[in-house]
Amino acid sequence: MHIPIEDLFEDIIGKTMRGRHISEHLLSEETGVDRDTLGRLCRGEFCDEGALLKIAPVLHLDPGSLTIAASKAWYPKPVSLDGLAQFNTPYRDMRVNAYLVWDPESKKAAAFDTGTDVGPMLSEIEERGLSLTHIFLTHTHNDHVADLDRLRAAAPGATVYANRLEPWPGCEKFVEGASYGIGALQVETRTTSGHSVGGTTYVVSGLEKPLAVVGDALFAGSMGGGMVSFEDALENNRKKIMTLPDETVICPGHGPLTTVGEEKRYNPFFPEWK
């Protein structure tokens, strides 16, 4: 399953300009890039690499990584891991991810979000003979919880969990740092708010590699829009996701799987690791 990169370079520029409250006029003044060229870049036309290299530092983006994004020269290496399945379902003009994680020995499993159609997830559970015991919500935006009622009905013994900062009807609320056992696996909760009030990253240990199910906090080569607070989103990503071991598999709410190591190298939002 090939899942396209979620954000193009113009999305990265746009999110940063909105988050840092920098207008095209101000960016043009501070960089000396003329308004026409800047406008074309903001619309997704990779027309002037020199201009892109000028605006990146002003936006606190890594110039090299932003150029790679504009050139469409990077895609994360494929990830295959026993105990992890990714589901990618359509939502309006985009697609959204949900995940199933299980302990291969006990066959106990946890779902992370639902996407818009849990049918493929339910088929995977049945085919593998899994027992779904936990349903974790990364955040409660509609595309991520759209099929929750159906999943609940299919797994009445599973408890649904949501961050207490972003509660959802019928869910058990937790505070940051809560942990849960899924057979031999351990799930630790980290609040990575900014895109949403109670956005949560779930760090899963016990498989061949650690996992971080991050919702819309981080994407391959980008990050979620700071709809609540751009600065909080950026800081939480830095402190609570990017500090995980490089081999950690990042499971984002949109786009392909990636790893902490690849994000350190290719994500323009984190120039300090380049």
Same domain assignment for residues 95 and 67: no
**What's the chain's length in residues?**
274
Q: Same domain for 60 and 165?
A: no
Task: Mark which of 38, 71, 104 sits at the end of a domain.
Answer: 71
- Angle, nearest 10°, between helix axes 63-71 and 49-58? 140
| pLDDT at 151 (0 to 100) | 98
How do the pLDDT tens digits run along the chain, 274 residues long?
A: 799 999 999 999 999 999 999 999 999 999 999 999 999 999 999 999 999 999 999 999 999 999 999 999 999 999 999 999 999 999 999 999 999 999 999 999 999 999 999 999 999 999 999 999 999 999 999 999 999 999 999 999 999 999 999 999 999 999 999 999 999 999 999 999 999 999 999 999 999 999 999 999 999 999 999 999 999 999 999 999 999 999 999 999 999 999 999 999 999 999 999 8
- In a domain, residue 79? The reply is no
Contact (CB, 8 A) for 240 and 29: no
Where b means 16+ CB within 10 Å and e means fewer, 202-219 reads: bbbebbeebbbbbbbbbb
Domain finish residue from 20, 38, 71? 71
CATH number of the domain within which 234 lies:
3.60.15.10
137 and 93 belong to one structural domain: yes
What CATH number does residue 49 fall under? 1.10.260
Residues forming beta bridges with residue 108, ordered by sequence position: 131
Same-domain check for residues 128 and 65: no
Query: Does 125 lie in the same domain as 45?
Result: no
In a domain, 212, yes or no: yes
The neighbour count for residue 198, using CB atoms within 10 Å, is: 22
- pTM beyond 0.85: the answer is yes
Find the domain containing 99 and state its range: 84-273
